[in-house]
Chain A
Amino acid sequence: MFVPPAVAGDHLYVGSCAGVMYCLDRKTGAVKWKYDISQDGGQSFHGNMLIDGDWILVGTDVGLNVEKGGHIYSFNLSTGAVRWKYPAGKGVSTDLLQAGSHVFGVAETGREETVVGLDRNTGKEIWKVALPLPEGKKLVINKSPALLGERLYYGAADGKLYAFATATGEKSVIKDFGAPIITPIVTHEDFLYFGTEAGKLYRVNQANGEIAGEFALNGRPYQPVVIRASEAAIALFVNWMKTDGELLVLDADLKNVRWRAAPPAARMWILARPLVWKNLLLSGTDDGQIIGFNLHDGKLTWSQRLEGAVRTFMSHDGICYIGTIEGKIFALSKCE
């Protein structure tokens, strides 16, 4: 598993790396319905799902040597019936974002990363813009765009930060950063945050494109997240899935390191992204530990151990749902 489950009502929605979408009873784990995406050529789920009324929208993708079969789906929450599916080449591994009647994602299509806007009720393509992948570069999994106001922002493998009008897809280049942008964009106040292959984390003013902060990392950035707007902090992994990796927390202006945490000796951080839960920042290891650090000082405050390599976490109504690379979901009680 790569994607945290989503909850709607009494049900848990899970997209597995074995290519099956499940609806489970969230209190018992009983299967209510499932949909095997291999019937459409898909293989896996890597982007966060979007609950939209009675529907759940999710992107799917395929393996390295397959050119098509990925889709964006809209499933009925109760029955699993497919309302629509949008063919998306190698697929969509990004989170899906919603603004008004549109839903947005980024597809890998041949040698391009293609930003698409669809009607969320019909799956009809409203606009799409293809950005050629530079020679030798490939699309990074789960590199999501971000919405701010009426613009969709995306950091491309060509090193440019792009903005798209959500209504029309009209494209503008905010700035060229000279190295492939390899992380999702996240937003805090009027600023965009992202990392590049050159090991830099940037803070960019969305209004004028000026660099308002930058931080040189000790390696490759992965999955920055905003730790609640009120905390004014950014967390990310550096050298994710490596034994020399770390979980790093910076002030939102990128001037100071608040704290950093290495994984346990000889282990790796492998949680799909740092996650905020209560007053904790969570990470997970390849030997079955999920660890919660105090948001403010990085003190190890909570942990759990289970079988497998911890990839996902989600909490709802006193139950924690922890997913592993091997594909198991563990439901943990008294998780308030």
Chain B
Amino acid sequence: MKPSKLASIVSMLAAFQILTPQIAAQTNPGQKFLWTFDTKG
């Protein structure tokens, strides 16, 4: 597996961990977070 692909998966898993508590609070449970990207600003 390419390092960039691995980094992408790690990033997605990290995002999922961050978002899990918030997803429980959303008013539209059918909607899911597909991906997140950090522009750092």
A1-35 vs B, Cβ < 8 Å mask (1 yes, 0 no): 10000000000001011111010100111110000
The stretch among A78-86, A166-174, A298-306 that forms the contact with chain B is A298-306
Q: Is B2 an interface residue (CB 8 A)?
A: no
A306 to B35 CA separation, bound complex (whole angstroms): 12
Residue pair A332, B31 in contact (C-beta under 8 Å): yes
A332 to B38 CA separation, bound complex (whole angstroms): 15
Q: Which residue of A lies closest to B41 (CB)?
A: A18
A30 to B19 CA separation, bound complex (whole angstroms): 19
Report the minimal beta-carbon distance from A284 to chain B, rounded to whole angstroms.
14
Q: Which residue of A lies closest to B22 (CB)?
A: A305
B1-41 vs A, Cβ < 8 Å mask (1 yes, 0 no): 00000001000000000110010011110111111111111
A side interface size, CB within 8 A:
33
Number of A-B contacts defined by CB within 8 Å: 81
Residue pair A14, B39 in contact (C-beta under 8 Å): yes
Contacts of B18 in A (CB 8 A): 307
Contacts of B36 in A (CB 8 A): 29, 328-331
A81 to B33 CA separation, bound complex (whole angstroms): 31
Report the minimal beta-carbon distance from A44 to chain B, rounded to whole angstroms.
8
Report the minimal beta-carbon distance from A291 to chain B, rounded to whole angstroms.
9
Contacts of B33 in A (CB 8 A): 306, 330-333
Residue pair A304, B41 in contact (C-beta under 8 Å): no
Q: Is A255 an interface residue (CB 8 A)?
A: no
Q: Is A334 an interface residue (CB 8 A)?
A: yes
Q: Is A319 an interface residue (CB 8 A)?
A: yes
Contacts of A66 in B (CB 8 A): none
Given A330-B33, A332-B33, A333-B32, decide whether A305 and B38 contact each other with a Cβ distance below 8 A: no
A302 to B36 CA separation, bound complex (whole angstroms): 21
A285-314 vs B, Cβ < 8 Å mask (1 yes, 0 no): 000100000000000001111110000000
A305 to B22 CA separation, bound complex (whole angstroms): 6
Given A305-B25, A307-B19, decide whether A327 and B31 contact each other with a Cβ distance below 8 A: no
Q: Is A130 an interface residue (CB 8 A)?
A: no
Seen from chain B, the residues whose Cβ lies within 8 Å of a Cβ on chain A are 8, 18-19, 22, 25-28, 30-41
Seen from chain A, the residues whose Cβ lies within 8 Å of a Cβ on chain B are 1, 14, 16-20, 22, 24, 27-31, 44, 288, 302-307, 319-320, 327-335
Could you list 26 A-B pairs, sorted by A, with CB under 8 Å? A14-B39, A16-B41, A17-B41, A20-B39, A22-B39, A28-B34, A31-B37, A44-B41, A302-B28, A303-B26, A304-B31, A305-B22, A307-B19, A319-B34, A327-B38, A328-B36, A330-B36, A331-B33, A331-B34, A331-B36, A332-B31, A332-B33, A332-B34, A333-B32, A334-B30, A334-B32
